């Protein structure tokens, strides 16, 4: 029962990962691609992490996984911001 729940969470996370990477490949420009990426980063990893937390018995490791998820959320927001900002500045220089 609990295993089923974990598998369900992980596979719904996978859906977001796969759609994120397909979006990265198919969307027309950098900014929309970054938008697709954020889905994989935030929701995808959150669901996978949830599934792994359900499966992992040790509480210490569960806390670690939550920290990992929070870090990835923060890092993904800041990285997207930096990459987009960099792209904008470079384009302005080229004009």
Partner 1 sequence: MMTGGASTSILTIALLIALNLLLLSLLIGLFRAWLGPSVEDRFSAILLIGTGGVAILLILAILLQITALYDVALVLALLAVVGTVALTQSESNHD
Partner 2 sequence: MIELLWSIFDIMLVLLLLALAWTTCSTQDVKRAVTLFIAMGLLLAIVWARLKAPDLALAEAVIGAGISGALLLSAIKDYPVTPMVSHRSRLIEGIINSLTLALTILMSWAVWHGLNMSDGIRLSEQVFSQLPVSGVSNPVTAVLLNYRAYDTLLELAVVLTAVLTVLTLNEKRSDYQGSTSPLLQGMTRWLVPLLVVTSGYLLWVGAHAPGGAFQAGAMLAAAMILLQLAYPSRRAEFNNYLLKILLVIGIFTFVLVGLWMMSRNDDFLAFTPAWAGTLILIIETAATISIASALTLAYLGGRPGGWEGRGSEGKAREDTHRTSRSITENGGAG
Q: Which residues bind partner 1 (CB under 8 A)?
A: 3, 6-7, 10-11, 13-14, 17-18, 20-22, 24-25, 30, 33-34, 37, 40-41, 44-45, 48-49, 52, 55-56, 58, 61, 64-65, 67-68, 71-72, 75-76, 78-80, 82-87, 89-90, 93
- The whole-angstrom separation of Cα 16 and Cα 11 is 9
Query: Measured from the CB of residue 69, what is the shortest distance to partner 1 in angstroms?
Result: 8
- The whole-angstrom separation of Cα 23 and Cα 54 is 29
**CB distance 46 to 9 below 8 Å:** no
By a kind-dependent CB cut-off of 5 to 8 A, residue 66 interacts, out of partner 2, partner 1, none, with: none
By a kind-dependent CB cut-off of 5 to 8 A, residue 48 interacts, out of partner 1, partner 2, none, with: partner 1
Cβ neighbours for 5, distance < 8 A, ≥ 6 positions apart: 51, 54
């Amino acid at each position: 029962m609990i295993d089923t729940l974990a598998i369900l969470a992980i596979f719904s996370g996978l859906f977001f990962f796969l759609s994120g990477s397909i979006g990265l490949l198919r969307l027309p420009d950098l900014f929309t691609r970054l938008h697709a990426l954020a889905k994989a980063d935030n929701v995808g990893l959150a669901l996978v992490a949830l599934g792994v937390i359900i499966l992992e018995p040790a509480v210490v490791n569960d806390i670690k996984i939550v920290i990992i998820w929070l870090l990835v959320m923060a890092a993904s927001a800041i990285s997207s911001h930096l990459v987009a900002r960099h792209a904008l500045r470079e384009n302005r220089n080229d004009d």
